[in-house]
Amino acid sequence: MPIQTELPSLPAGPRRRAAAPATTPPEIAARALLAHERLCRAYGCPIAYFHALAPLDELVSSLLSHRTRNADSARAFRTLRERFPSWEAVRDAPVGEVQEAIRAATWPEAKAPALQRTLRAVTERRGALDLDHLAAMAPAEADAWLQSLPGVGPKTAAAVLSFSVLRRRALPVDSHHHRVAVRLGLIPAGLPVGPSHRVLEAMLPPGWDAQQVYDNHEVMMLHGQRCCFFHGPACGRCVVLDLCPTGQERVGGAAPGRDGTGRAAVPDGGGEAAG
Ligand code: SF4
């Protein structure tokens, strides 16, 4: 689908908790695509996948990563792999041993029993501890199956489908991605991260492949890490300032008329917890 270059109007979203919109207004979908194109130029799409894990490994990795810095959740994952010979051993171990192995992650006392519950549920439903059957499912069906597991929400399910070797079309939304989407007026400010998955994915062209959807997540996340900071977003050097109602409000409507060809010369904020 061609990217529209005509700028949509910039209504600010409501500030209170909001329900998911039933459909995406065309001007919002156009803004989402134009922002995607600008951010892809800035951050260099296609973006290489950072993982090539088996689906079950990715599920464990994703469960550990909630509200945890990337480096810390990676350390917790590595330690689990080193201390236990298999995920079956993690599932059946005394919970305190799992908790100790993942102490680099946030809330190990909650994540250890939750991880074991999820692994037990996979075993009960599959008759074995593996997720190989997901490869034969349509993305929506696989997403629903994953989200039926205890402790698995839309972000974890999408991470398994997109980031693992399955490489399926799915859009994870972390806290950086969500913040940028809210500020761009793509979703209402009060729409929580969970329900925002369906809304943001519905804005993407149905013909996009898994790499393009992955790129969309990555560039929105990178922009949140490197420019659209939680405190003090750097609107003055933002490549989507002219599309952004929040940025327009912050700079007093003085849009610089970017053509979107410049890279965002921003410090590397990678490793920030994304939730
Ligand atoms: S203009 Fe400002 S608020 Fe809008 S996306 Fe850019 S950095 Fe974020």
- What mean pLDDT is predicted for residues 32-46? 98
Q: Are residues 61 and 156 in the same domain?
A: yes
Answer whether residue 230 is part of any domain. yes
Please state the rounded mean pLDDT for residues 239-255: 88
Taking the CA atoms of residue 202, residue 210, residue 81 and residue 60 in that order, the dihedral angle to the nearest 10 degrees is 20
Span from the CA of 162 to the centroid of ligand 1 (angstroms) = 26
- Note whether 93 and 193 are same-domain residues: no
pLDDT of amino acid 20? 64
8 in the same domain as 43:
yes
Burial class (CB in 10 A: 0-12, 13-18, 19+), 261: exposed
64: tokens are 């550990």
Q: Read off the pTM.
A: 0.84
Structural domain for 21, as ranges: 1-49+173-275
CATH code at position 250: 1.10.1670.10
* Ligand 1 atom nearest to CA at 240: 6
- Considering the domain architecture, whether residues 45 and 59 belong to the same structural domain is answered as no
Residues 188 and 232 in one domain: yes
If DSSP codes are grouped into helix, strand and coil, which group holds residue 17? strand
pLDDT in tens, 92-105: 999 999 999 999 99
Mean pLDDT, the chain, rounded, equals 87
Rounded to the nearest angstrom, the distance between the alpha carbon of 175 and the centre of ligand 1 is 15
Cα radius of gyration rounded to whole Å, the chain: 19
Q: What are the pocket residues of ligand 1 if the criterion is a CB atom closer than 6 Å to any ligand atom?
A: 180, 183-184, 227-228, 233-235, 238, 240-241, 244, 246-247
Q: Whose CA is nearest to atom 3 of ligand 1?
A: 247
Give the whole-angstrom CA distance, residue 134 versus residue 138: 8
Do 144 and 210 belong to one domain?
Answer: no
Contact 196, 258 (CB under 8 A): no
Does residue 168 fall inside a structural domain?
A: no
pLDDT at residue 10 in the model: 38
45 and 180 share one domain: yes
- Ligand 1 mean position, distance from CA 125 (Å): 44
- pLDDT of the residue at 111: 97
Percentage of the chain modeled with pLDDT above 90: 79
pLDDT for res 149: 98
pLDDT for 29 beyond 60: yes
Query: Which is higher by pLDDT, 275 or 201?
Result: 201
Is 70 inside a domain boundary?
A: yes
Q: How many domains is the chain built from?
A: 2
Q: What is the pLDDT of residue 19?
A: 63
Atom of ligand 1 nearest to the CA of 238: 6
Ligand 1 atom with the shortest distance to the CA of 241: 1
Give the pLDDT mean for 16-33: 81
Q: Quick one: pLDDT band at residue 201, thresholds 50, 70, 90?
A: very high
What pLDDT sits at residue 50? Answer: 87
Tokens of 263: 């890279």
Q: What is the mean predicted confidence (pLDDT) over 21-27?
A: 82
* Closest ligand 1 atom, residue 180 Cα: 5
Tell me: do 13 and 70 sit in the same domain.
no
Co-location of 111 and 33 in the same domain: no
Do 73 and 209 lie in one domain? The reply is no
Is the domain of 64 the same as that of 43?
A: no
Q: How far apart are CA 275 and CA 266, in angstroms?
A: 22
Statement to judge: residues 29 and 64 lie in one domain: no
Q: How confident is the model at residue 215 (pLDDT cuts 50, 70, 90)?
A: very high
